[in-house]
């Protein structure tokens, strides 16, 4: 009976569900690449299909988040607090939310981007997806990290991943600044309302990378605690 109880306690560990949650978020974010390709080709039918897929995956991730929160016991037999895990879970979920908002905004306005900034925006999208993939890699190490009691070589692995995320976030910030400069140079040739939303999308793409980096920061906080 005692052995069964212990098994039940560890079976409720939130680590695997959180890894599943992050996997759905990565799948959601990765769809931004073919989505933007369709937008550049003015293939709105395909873009709407991909937007729907992004929304579906975001909703699935959101449902997973709610289930994890509801099933997370107040006391954990883990070297990490419940509040820290909930903070990490929220950080993960915000990535998918931002991916959904980007796709929804572009579709709602049938946004056609000026040729002078198309390539740079595509690169920013790839940066966001890359950062999300690295954040997923970090979360994939979380079970190993817990098993070792947040000690040993797994700690170094996470620390290196966090450094990688920080570097990508800095690259994204630099690209955001340059994109805004490039857009400013041609904005008088564009519809003023469109320009407002171009800037918003640029900022949201930078925020996508920021949110992936925040997952790394949350893991860094777990290590510190």
Q: How far separated are the first and last CA of the chain, in Å rounded? A: 34
Is 70 exceeded by the pLDDT of residue 5?
A: no
Cα 225 from chain centre: 23
- The pLDDT confidence band at residue 3, using thresholds 50, 70 and 90, is very low
211: pLDDT strictly greater than 60: yes
pLDDT at 33: 98
How confident is the model over 98-112, as a mean pLDDT?
Answer: 96
- pLDDT bucket at 156, cuts 50 / 70 / 90: confident
Domains of the chain: 2-224 (1.20.58.220)
Say which residue, 145 or 176, is predicted with more confidence. Answer: 176
Burial zone of 218 (CB within 10 Å; 0-12 exposed, 13-18 middle, 19+ buried)? buried
User: What distance in Å separates the CA atoms of residue 14 and residue 20, rounded to the nearest whole number?
Assistant: 10
* pLDDT at res. 108: 96
Overall size of the chain counted in residues: 225
Six-digit token string for 186: 């041609």
pLDDT tens per residue across span 39-88 = 999 999 999 999 999 999 999 999 999 999 888 776 656 667 788 889 99
> Under a CB-based contact definition with an 8 Å cutoff, are residues 120 and 176 in contact?
no
User: Which among 17, 3, 129, 141 has a CA at the least distance from the CA of 68?
Assistant: 17
**What single-letter DSSP state applies at residue 110?**
T
Across 192-205, b (16+ Cβ under 10 Å) vs e yields eeebeebbebbebb
Among the listed ranges 8-22, 30-44, 78-92, 127-141, which one has the minimum average pLDDT value?
8-22
Helix residue spans in 31-188 (DSSP H): 32-40, 44-71, 82-109, 115-140, 142-147, 153-186
Q: What does the pLDDT read at residue 153?
A: 76
Could you tell me the CA-to-CA distances from 19 to 62, 133, 148, 206 in Å, in that order?
A: 14, 12, 17, 24
Confidence label for 178 from pLDDT (cuts 50, 70 and 90): very high
In whole angstroms, what is the distance from residue 212 CA to residue 187 CA? Answer: 30
pLDDT bucket at 144, cuts 50 / 70 / 90: confident
Q: Which two tokens stand for residue 104?
A: 């929804």
Contacts of 153 (CB under 8 A, 6+ apart): none
């Amino acid at each position: 009976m005692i052995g069964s109880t212990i098994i039940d306690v560890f079976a409720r560990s939130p680590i695997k569900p959180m890894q599943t949650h992050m996997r759905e978020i990565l799948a959601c974010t990765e769809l931004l690449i073919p989505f933007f390709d369709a937008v550049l080709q003015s293939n709105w039918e395909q873009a709407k299909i991909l937007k729907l897929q992004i929304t579906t995956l975001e909703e699935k991730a959101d449902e997973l988040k709610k289930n994890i929160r509801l099933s997370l016991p107040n006391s954990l037999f883990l070297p990490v607090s419940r509040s820290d895990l909930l903070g990490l879970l929220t950080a993960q979920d915000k990535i998918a939310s931002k991916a959904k908002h980007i796709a929804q905004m572009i579709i709602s306005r049938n946004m056609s981007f000026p040729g002078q900034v198309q390539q740079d925006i595509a690169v920013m999208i790839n940066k966001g997806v890359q950062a999300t993939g690295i954040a997923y890699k970090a979360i994939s190490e979380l079970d190993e990290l817990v098993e070792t009691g947040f000690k040993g070589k797994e700690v170094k692995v996470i620390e290196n991943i966090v450094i990688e995320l920080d570097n990508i976030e800095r690259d994204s910030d630099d690209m955001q600044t340059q994109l805004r400069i490039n857009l400013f140079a041609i904005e008088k040739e564009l519809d003023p309302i469109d320009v407002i939303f171009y800037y918003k999308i640029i900022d949201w793409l930078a925020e996508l990378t920021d949110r992936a980096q925040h997952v790394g920061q949350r893991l860094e906080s777990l290590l510190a605690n």
